[in-house]
Each structure stands twice: as C-alpha cells, then as structure tokens.
Amino acid sequence: MSEVLGEVLLDRETIRNRVRQLGRLISSDMEGLEPCMVPVLDGGMVFAADLIREISLPATMIPLKASSYGSGSESSGVVDLPWELPKELSSKDIILVDDILDTGLTLETLRRKLFDVGAQSVRTCVLLRKKKSIHLPADHIGFDIPDVFVVGYGLDLGGRYRNLPDISFLRETA
C-alpha cells in the first residue's frame, strides 16, 4: 500500500486568516507578558514561523525537537525528546506551539518538563485538533478536523510534504 496526495482540507488562505486571528487572541491573552514561543520541531515550525509574526508583543522563540510518530502514520505511543531542556526556559511565560493534537502525548510530556525546569506559565496552541481528541484541552486551537492523517504546512509523512502551502488528506493506493 502506498499513498498519494488527496483533496485539500484547508487551503492557504483559510490557514492564513486563522493564524492571524490566533495571533490576535494570543496577543490579548498574554498582554503585559513577553511570550516565549516554543515550537515543537519538526512539524510545528511552519505554523510557528507564521504565528510569531502575528503576535504584537515582544516575543522570543526557543524551538524544541520532539517526535512520537517515527517515519510512519501511527503514533508510536512514546515521545522521543533528544535533548536536555535549555536552562533559559525557566521563569518564562511559554506558549507551546505544535501542528496537531492527536493523542496529546507530545504536548503533555513537554508541558510537564517545562514546569519541571521552572517555567512561569505554559500555554498551548495547536493549529489542528483531531475529532478523537476533542476532549483534550489546548489554550488556542486553529481548526477541529476529522480523524484522518493530513499533510502539508509543516505536517509530513516520512519527511515529505512539509512544504505544501495547503493542508491535504492522503489517499491510499494499492
């Protein structure tokens, strides 16, 4: 079985408008603070790069690498964090930014670690949340989407498709 790109779920214009709104929401939610944006690499970097430019507060960025999918399209159930948390994260007001909330394991693991190193506050922002994760909280959510595997706008399959400006389904072919 292999996959090809399917229909577009969210086009670039729709994404851009929502990212702009999220930037405004975060700016008013964090007014008076200096948000430290922590994008979850690799998937969250495209979203975070656009989002930080929509935030009208003095913001900084410290990306962290995490992966739970390996090279496939099923969560492995284990979050791989190949680093020590940078000390400068302590006492920061953090906004964790990821592409998608699926099992929630990645964000929950990171949130706990950030509090462990003394973060002042930790907010979460995801561009997408799957239907099966509707019960999982995040402070800011771009779009609720169906339980399907999507690619584009930073989201990959085995490293491919991240550069696509739209977010699309994948279609399986025999």
Are 2 and 167 in contact by the 8 Å Cβ rule? The answer is no
Chain residues 65-84 in contact with ligand 5GP, contact rule CB under 6 A: 68-69, 75
CB of 43 to Mg ion, least distance (A): 3
Using CB under 5 A as the binding rule, whether residue 43 contacts Mg ion is answered as yes
CB of 103 to Mg ion, least distance (A): 11
156 catalytic residue (yes or no): no
Residue 22 near ligand 5GP by CB under 6 A: no
Q: What are phi and psi of 99, to 5 degrees?
A: -70, -40
Select from 105, 117, 121, 143 the one that contacts ligand 5GP (CB under 6 A): 105
Give, in order, the Cα–Cα distances in Å from 106 to each of 12, 23, 79, 80, 118: 26, 22, 6, 9, 19
Residues 6 or more apart in contact with residue 153 via CB below 8 angstroms: 10, 12, 15, 46, 47, 99, 127, 162, 164, 165, 166, 167
Among 30, 102, 125, 142, binds ligand 5GP (CB under 6 A): 102
Is residue 75 classed exposed, middle or buried when 0-12, 13-18 and 19+ CB atoms within 10 A define those classes? middle
CB of 84 to ligand 5GP, least distance (A): 20
Q: Which of 30, 64, 95, 155 binds ligand 5GP (CB under 6 A)?
A: 155
What residues are labeled active site? 102
- Catalog residues that contact ligand 5GP under the rule CB under 6 A: 40, 43, 68-69, 75, 98-106, 149-151, 155-157
